[in-house]
A and B are shown apart, each in its own frame.
Chain A
Amino acid sequence: MAALVDTLLQRSLDDLIKSLRSQPTLESSIISRSISEIRREIRSTNPLTKSTALQKLSYLSSLHFLDISWSSFHSLELLPSPSFTFKRLAYLSASLSFHPSSDLLLLATNQLRKDLSPSSPSPVISLALDFLSLTASPDLARDLTPEIHSLLSSPNPSIRTKATATALRIFTRYPDSVRVAFKRLVDNIDSSAAIGVFCELSASDPKPYLPLAPDFYRLLVGSKNNWILIKVLKIFARLAPLEPRLARRIVDPVCEHLRRSNAKSLVLECARTVALSLADYDEAVRLVVEKVGEFLASEDDANLRYLGLHVLSMLGPRHSWAVEMNKELVIKSLCDPDANIRREALLLIMEMLFESNVVDISILLVSFASKSMPNPEFCNDILEAVLSACGRNVYELVMDFDWYVGLLGQMSRNPHCAKGDEIERQLVDIGLRVKDVRPELVCIARDLLIDPTLLGNSSIHRILSAAAWVSGEYAEFSRNPLELLEALLQPRTNLLPTSVSAVYIQAVFKVLTFCFCSYFERLESGHMLSSLGNPIAGTGCQEESDASTVVFGKGDNAAVGNLNNTGAIGCKPDSLSGSVNLDEQFTHASVLRMLNLIETAMVPLSNWGVVEIQDRALSVLCLIHMLQRFQVWNRDEEGLRKDGRVSEFANLMAGVFNQELGPVSANSQKRVSVPDGLILKENLADLTAVIGEEVNVSVSASTSFFHRKHHNGETGEETKILTESTSLLSEHRKRHELYYLPAGKDEAQSNDYPPANDPQLPVSQCGASEDLVELDDQPLLSRHRKPTKPRPVVVKLDDVDVRENSAPESTVDLKDDLLSGAVCDVLLGNEDNKPTKTQKKSAKSQRRKKDRPTYVEPASASQLRESGNLVHVELGSSSSKISRHGHSKEKQSSSQGIEDNEDGSQKNLTNSQHHYRKHKHRQDRDALPNLLPQTPVIQDFLL
């Protein structure tokens, strides 16, 4: 009774849709209510109620994305219904609730078998095939292979077509089914569905389908169906690279289609085939370029313009003239309203980038990006393309680095620029790798730092961070370090995120150190010069007060505020201080002022909430206080000079940032081999005992680390510490020889790459610094570069290059491999040998593929002459059975081939045609020992 009530009161799918449409805001509650209804209705024994419930469920699953896998059993219950309407609904909901790994799928096998029987009405078969194509699991595919096999020769063309499409899924899920059903597929090769299946199959591994080339060729020449032609062309595009003679054969028909066809889709496919596989044939390429020109010129059809560019970019790298011919249209496409076309044009242009034109094109693109962009997204696409093209393979395209860092600066000023990360990376990276560009780099960095407007744009803060780092690290190239300090300390820097602020403070620290040291150096040399009686230096010292007012004038007026007003965006430093001699900037007063300026700026930062900033600010302050402790500041320069402590301190500070930083290879740690007997994962529990003993040693070791590489001579005390520590170290080494890296090896390894910025390993202290100097230069010379061009040296790391170059090999997964193996066997007639285990089979076919490359059978030579173009190619098979689509000649030649091979093919070599002799000879040596045990079948290529 309840069931009857359900049936009578059940809401239909239309009701559900109507209620969903009438109250769009209550959608989710309506859905959940109907789901609970459906859960009740679906259990009904009345097929009508059940089917309506399933129908509603299908709707909700398909368009409201509900998971309905729970209903799969109910769909199964309705599948056997005699009513086609119910069956259709059941299949639809089953196809939505099942997937290839569903457990219940096996329960459907019998019903599917029944529905797939040739006696069923064709719409029923269609439903079952559709379901099977969507959900076939390996088991289901295995069980239903015979049904598909018989349907492949159904008299109804529509069923045949559908069975063909389903066969593709069966083959991929259960590769052994190929052995049963593949022949039928080959028989149907004239149908578009079968060609589609071959096209799909050849996508993953085209090689097994080479023997079908004659059939494909016949279709290419004879078929009038554009769908078939397109698929055949796709197949040939994949086969042609495997067999050079194939390309020669198909080039004429392809050209013919290019000339004759009115169907744009076919023309497009021909053009693509030429671009992919026939790029050697000039006539074909010329035709394609002509057609592409027509595509590009079609004003009213954006699709054709887009596809034209697409084909052009496939032709591009090899036939640059093709792009050159259409240059205007390509450049024009950069302004196309269609984003696809713009992007494709950009891609094309970037592919045409060579050393010779990289400067022009990059300038063009970057200025294009900065002026005419209503579209920030595309503007960034352009910037990204330029960055990645120029940065590719350690800047291999860039000859003039001064120009390139200038370009980076220009990109940073683009208001839409969102590529801060990459520009930051490249600025720092170029600084590390290219020594010659550092002065220009510092100049660019200064221009960026000094511009207060840039600080407001958060997307380029990363670039500013790089600029700050560069100008700190290479402060010695700065033309006006004092100005740089002001830029680094300007008030708007409080807009920076903390990570960048930290870099700024560190840069201040470095510049301060540099200024102080060079000021002091000047004092010393000035003293020496004046003691030698140099009048110029003498006057320089005496007129110190004048100099200070001249040079530091700007700073004096408004040390900080001034910078806000200047807004010196494009101003080159030349205009500000180019004429000023660096030495003259460091006067007594200016240095003093500098210290005050820094102190004023740092004091608030030392109370900052972020430790990164607080930490660095405090160390800067600490340095300043130390400097100020020398009361001599109140005295004149003469007094300063005489104070030994000051000079000692200057030398010390000069040493702190003395070590040059280099690029560090990501793999350098891996290169250090683990010595025998050292177990890295061993528990370190007993270490505490050792530490107690060694604590002195470690302290002095760290001291030596701090004083790395002084070349200004240490004080006596320091040397003492050093020698003490080295002696301790050597003692330690003696005791724990085992845990030390072998010294000799160490040097050999570091030969390959520049020293990482880690402290020297405790090898002999005396020679280390000279070694390092040498090592620094080593990799610069080792890398290839073009000797004809005065390109600055770019440091490269061997292993990084290797890693970049070795692209991961494309791996064919096991399924594909099994499938290819099975197809090989079927096409070459190896079906007696039914496998019991697919694994074994695959291993075999794999081995065969490896062992036996395409092999030209000499016996065919005479036939070749007879039949004009008959060429025999052996493709590897171990059976003498002849594949069914072969030709009468094949039989003859195959048996002959076997005999020849068994006799040993040396004698055949003599009567083989000259054309093949060389090839054959090589094959003999390589392949024959492997070939002999297996008797090969010769495959005809009637092309």
Chain B
Amino acid sequence: MIRAVIVMNTQGKPRLTKFYDFQPPEKQQEMIRKVFGVLCNRPENVSNFIQADDIFGPDCKIVYKHLATLYFIFVFDSSENELAMLDLIQVFVETLDRCFKNVCELDVVFNFNKMHTILNEIILGGQVLETSSEEVMKAIEEISRLEKSTSAVSLIPKAVSGKLGR
């Protein structure tokens, strides 16, 4: 299964974290720090896999992709295929790209909730659900539709706060 999904920037600041096994926050922080310690020492154009038994427990591997200022990191165990995980990162990134039209770090920073929504359509409980970004997009659209239809009740306060907030 997939143990965790982490997106962080090249300074080591996490932008999205999701652990599919419960980890207390301080442990999460430590793991992410260690992962960054490994990643920042790796040159470009080397393989994308790292044996990570010492960080995440026996049999765990990391696959990562470095795109612009972000690292996309999946942690997985022996029940997953390395190259398939690499493809899955691609699916995730493609979906983000469709959602945000040329995704950049700022999109990731300011769309905390949407990132989670997208990820939840791809992976649930550590299991891969969907590998086609088109299908994921459909599900996301359905969710936005539902949000619009049910938020009619609280439309006015939301609009007010939205104005004041910005």
CB–CB A306/B81 < 8 A: no
CB–CB B47/A341 < 8 A: yes
**When chains A and B are docked, how far (Å) is the Cα of A129 from the Cα of B109?**
26
CB–CB A226/B22 < 8 A: no
CB–CB B147/A303 < 8 A: no
Neighbour of A83 across the interface among B42, B45, B50, B153, CB < 8 A = B153
**Most chain A beta-carbon contacts within 10 A, residue among B43, B47, B116:** B47
Q: Does B102 contact A (CB under 8 A)?
A: no
Asked if A65 meets B151 with Cβ closer than 8 Å, knowing A165-B127, A268-B81, A303-B47, the reply is no
CB–CB A340/B49 < 8 A: yes
CB–CB A7/B129 < 8 A: no
Asked if A230 meets B81 with Cβ closer than 8 Å, knowing A122-B142, A168-B127, A302-B46, the reply is yes
Tier of interface size on chain A: 35 or more
CB–CB A85/B47 < 8 A: no
List the A residue with the shortest CB-CB distance to B166. Answer: A14
**When chains A and B are docked, how far (Å) is the Cα of A46 from the Cα of B153?**
13
CB–CB B164/A265 < 8 A: no
Q: Type the 1/0 row for A79-117, where 1 means its CB is closer than 8 Å to any CB of B.
A: 000111110110010000001100000000000000000
Q: Does A779 contact B (CB under 8 A)?
A: no
List the B residue with the shortest CB-CB distance to A58. Answer: B112
Asked if A7 meets B78 with Cβ closer than 8 Å, knowing A130-B124, A165-B124, the reply is no
List the A residue with the shortest CB-CB distance to B24. Answer: A67
**When chains A and B are docked, how far (Å) is the Cα of A9 from the Cα of B42?**
46
**When chains A and B are docked, how far (Å) is the Cα of A653 from the Cα of B17?**
71
Q: Type the 1/0 row for B33-53, where 1 means its CB is closer than 8 Å to any CB of A.
A: 000000000110111111100
Taking CB atoms, residues of chain A closer than 8 Å to B110 are 14, 17
Q: Does A663 contact B (CB under 8 A)?
A: no
**Most chain B beta-carbon contacts within 10 A, residue among A123, A133, A200, A339:** A123
Chain A residues numbered 1-51 whose CB sits less than 8 Å from any CB in chain B = 7-15, 17, 21, 46-48
Taking CB atoms, residues of chain B closer than 8 Å to A338 are 43, 46-47
Asked if A88 meets B129 with Cβ closer than 8 Å, knowing A134-B20, A226-B84, the reply is no
**When chains A and B are docked, how far (Å) is the Cα of A166 from the Cα of B1?**
12
Q: Type the 1/0 row for A445-469, where 1 means its CB is closer than 8 Å to any CB of B.
A: 0000000000000000000000000
Closest Cβ of chain B: how far from A547's Cβ, in Å? Answer: 62
Asked if A162 meets B129 with Cβ closer than 8 Å, knowing A8-B160, A12-B161, A303-B49, the reply is yes
CB–CB B154/A83 < 8 A: yes
**When chains A and B are docked, how far (Å) is the Cα of A85 from the Cα of B152?**
11
Q: Does A305 contact B (CB under 8 A)?
A: yes
**When chains A and B are docked, how far (Å) is the Cα of A58 from the Cα of B25?**
12
Q: Does A227 contact B (CB under 8 A)?
A: yes
Closest Cβ of chain B: how far from A189's Cβ, in Å? Answer: 15
CB–CB A62/B83 < 8 A: no
Asked if A48 meets B47 with Cβ closer than 8 Å, knowing A17-B109, A88-B117, A265-B81, the reply is no
Taking CB atoms, residues of chain B closer than 8 Å to A61 are 25
Taking CB atoms, residues of chain A closer than 8 Å to B125 are 130, 133-134, 165-166, 168-169
CB–CB A10/B161 < 8 A: yes
**When chains A and B are docked, how far (Å) is the Cα of A278 from the Cα of B86?**
26
Taking CB atoms, residues of chain A closer than 8 Å to B47 are 302-303, 305-306, 338, 340-341
Taking CB atoms, residues of chain B closer than 8 Å to A200 are 1, 79, 127
CB–CB B84/A265 < 8 A: yes
Q: Type the 1/0 row for B124-166, where 1 means its CB is closer than 8 Å to any CB of A.
A: 1111111100010001001100110111011001101110111
Closest Cβ of chain A: how far from B21's Cβ, in Å? Answer: 9
Q: Type the 1/0 row for A301-342, where 1 means its CB is closer than 8 Å to any CB of B.
A: 011011100000000000000000000000000000111110
CB–CB A264/B83 < 8 A: yes
CB–CB B161/A47 < 8 A: no
Taking CB atoms, residues of chain B closer than 8 Å to A8 are 160-161, 164
**When chains A and B are docked, how far (Å) is the Cα of A7 from the Cα of B158?**
10
Chain A residues numbered 223-242 whose CB sits less than 8 Å from any CB in chain B = 226-227, 230-231, 234
Q: Does B120 contact A (CB under 8 A)?
A: yes
**When chains A and B are docked, how far (Å) is the Cα of A486 from the Cα of B108?**
69
Taking CB atoms, residues of chain A closer than 8 Å to B162 are 12
CB–CB B79/A84 < 8 A: no
Neighbour of B124 across the interface among A46, A65, A162, CB < 8 A = A162
CB–CB B49/A92 < 8 A: no
Closest Cβ of chain B: how far from A882's Cβ, in Å? Answer: 30
Taking CB atoms, residues of chain B closer than 8 Å to A162 are 124, 129
List the A residue with the shortest CB-CB distance to B50. Answer: A340
Interface-facing stretch out of A190-198, A247-255, A411-419, A506-514:
A190-198
CB–CB A196/B128 < 8 A: yes
List the A residue with the shortest CB-CB distance to B155. Answer: A83
CB–CB A133/B142 < 8 A: no
Known: A164-B127, A265-B81, A268-B81. 20 other contacts (CB 8 A): A14-B110, A47-B154, A65-B25, A65-B28, A122-B142, A123-B142, A133-B20, A133-B124, A162-B129, A165-B126, A165-B129, A193-B129, A196-B128, A200-B79, A227-B128, A230-B81, A231-B79, A265-B84, A268-B82, A340-B50
Q: List 24 A-B contacts (CB under 8 A).
A: A12-B161, A14-B166, A62-B16, A62-B112, A63-B13, A63-B16, A83-B150, A84-B146, A84-B149, A85-B147, A100-B22, A126-B124, A158-B129, A165-B124, A168-B125, A168-B127, A226-B84, A227-B84, A234-B81, A269-B81, A302-B47, A303-B47, A303-B83, A339-B46
Give the top 5 A-B pairs by smallest Cβ distance, nearest first.
Answer: A133-B125, A265-B83, A165-B127, A338-B46, A12-B165
